[in-house]
Amino acid sequence: MRGKGLPLCLSLCVLFGADACSKSRDSGTREIDPRIAQCARWVPFSRKGDGALFFLDRFEFRIGDLRAASRLDGGAALFEVLSRVPRHADPDLPAANLDLLEGMAAARLFFARLPRLEEWRQAVEGHAGFRFPWGDRFESLGALRANTLELGLLRPTRVGTFESGRDPSREDACYDLFGNLAEWVLDPPPSLFTERGEGGVSEILGRGRRDFWVGVESLLDLLRPWNGARPWLPVFLRPLPSNERLPCVSIGFGFLSWIRPQAGDGRKIGPYERLGLEGRDPRERASDLGLRLATDPWTFLAGLAAVEGEPGEEERAILGRFLGRHAAAFRAAALARRRMAGPDERGTWLEAAVRILGLRP
């Protein structure tokens, strides 16, 4: 009897287990869209001057984010970037080796953009104008607050590792504004180009890596009759047309940079050089160069408008909490978009957001 009952029990266990699995698949939780999950990482700021709302990602853009972006509609543009990432790389490491256009493409997929220079600077300095994200002093513990050359790791670390390297006055402060990777930023304001002799942008762009690459380009131009299109050169070494040579910059300090400006020539260190501003070729890729996402109500809603369908129940709840905390700014942006956009945007995620904001679609 005992021998006959055992197979029966095993059969029942298999049947009930299979039934439970089928039920969990049928009623299983839908995976949260990574663009909506990103809402939990947006840190709000009010822009100095006009008080406009903008957001910075709490963390640097990760390898895990890159993989998630490549699976989204339009993510095929990032397949080449992903091919440069080791298959078993830690998803919590920051994504490096993206040039400017690749960084902008990744940001767009997350209803975002790259930060503006002044937005990034505001996140570092706060309202008190601090020199470092954690305050004014570097002291002996400064090397332990950020992954820079002072620490000597010579490799990136997981995002969010350096708890003491962020603004202690706010719980949701950004990590790794200094250290780990330098970060692409959007075009600096034209007014900065007048800051000559004070470590301003115009002076910084004349030094460093970009100055070296321009010198290489000039040398190669002399050899043009013999080297043709130069397919043997890395992309970022091939000369750009003169009308495409833009003043692109990164900000922050990577793991291969000193956080303390090295000014042995006696010149004065300007405010932007203290923040790690560095001139870049827009095609440049480097192991210590990455990005941080930024957005604002208009950019976020424009991204929602490009996604067809409806968010799931849990996604709607996350979106509702995020929009609800900043309802006035998003409502104003939605109304302005309605006046200016023109085309009907029904059937998109934007319609769901408009309903959450209490507006008629």
Q: Are 290 and 301 within one domain?
A: no
Q: For residue 86, is it within any domain?
A: yes
In this structure, what DSSP letter does residue 229 have? T
Q: Are 281 and 313 within one domain?
A: no
Question: Using an 8 Å Cβ cutoff, are 165 and 273 in contact?
Answer: no
Q: For residue 83, is it within any domain?
A: yes
* Cα 197 from Cα 58, distance rounded (Å): 34
pLDDT tens for residues 204-213?
Answer: 444 444 433 4
* Cα 340 from Cα 193, distance rounded (Å): 33
Q: Are 310 and 176 within one domain?
A: no
* End-to-end Cα spacing for the chain: 68
Largest CA distance in the chain: 95
* Cα 177 from Cα 48, distance rounded (Å): 19
Phi and psi at residue 331, in whole multiples of 5°? -65, -40
Q: Are 52 and 136 within one domain?
A: yes
Q: For residue 271, is it within any domain?
A: yes
Q: Which residue has the higher pLDDT, 148 or 11?
A: 148
Strand, coil or helix: 184:
strand
Query: What is the domain range of residue 265?
Result: 35-205+247-295
Give me the amino acid identity at 26.
D
The pLDDT, as a whole number, for residue 215 is 41
**Structure token pair of residue 113:** 């953009």
In this structure, what DSSP letter does residue 182 have? E
User: Mean pLDDT over residues 216-242, rounded?
Assistant: 48
Please name which of 147, 118, 122, 148 lies closest in space to residue 133, comparing C-alpha atoms.
122
Q: For residue 196, is it within any domain?
A: yes
| CB-neighbour burial class of residue 240 (10 A; exposed 0-12, middle 13-18, buried 19+) | middle
Q: For residue 238, is it within any domain?
A: no
Question: Using an 8 Å Cβ cutoff, are 275 and 251 in contact?
Answer: yes
* Cα 177 from Cα 146, distance rounded (Å): 9
Q: Position of tokens 């408008």? A: 305
Q: Are 309 and 267 within one domain?
A: no
Phi and psi at residue 140, in whole multiples of 5°? -70, -25
Q: Are 313 and 193 within one domain?
A: no
Instruction: Name the percent of the chain lying above pLDDT 70.
Output: 68
Q: Are 70 and 147 within one domain?
A: yes
In this structure, what DSSP letter does residue 96 have? -
Q: How many domains does the chain have?
A: 2
Q: For residue 361, is it within any domain?
A: no
Q: Are 163 and 112 within one domain?
A: yes
Angle at Cα 341 formed by Cα 338 and Cα 346, nearest 5°?
Answer: 70
Lowest mean per-residue pLDDT among 22-26, 113-117, 166-170, 181-185 = 22-26
pLDDT at residue 21 greater than cutoff 50:
no
Mean residue pLDDT of the chain comes to 78
Helix or strand run (H / E) with residue 294: strand 294-295
In this structure, what DSSP letter does residue 113 have? B
Q: Are 187 and 327 within one domain?
A: no
pTM over 0.85: no
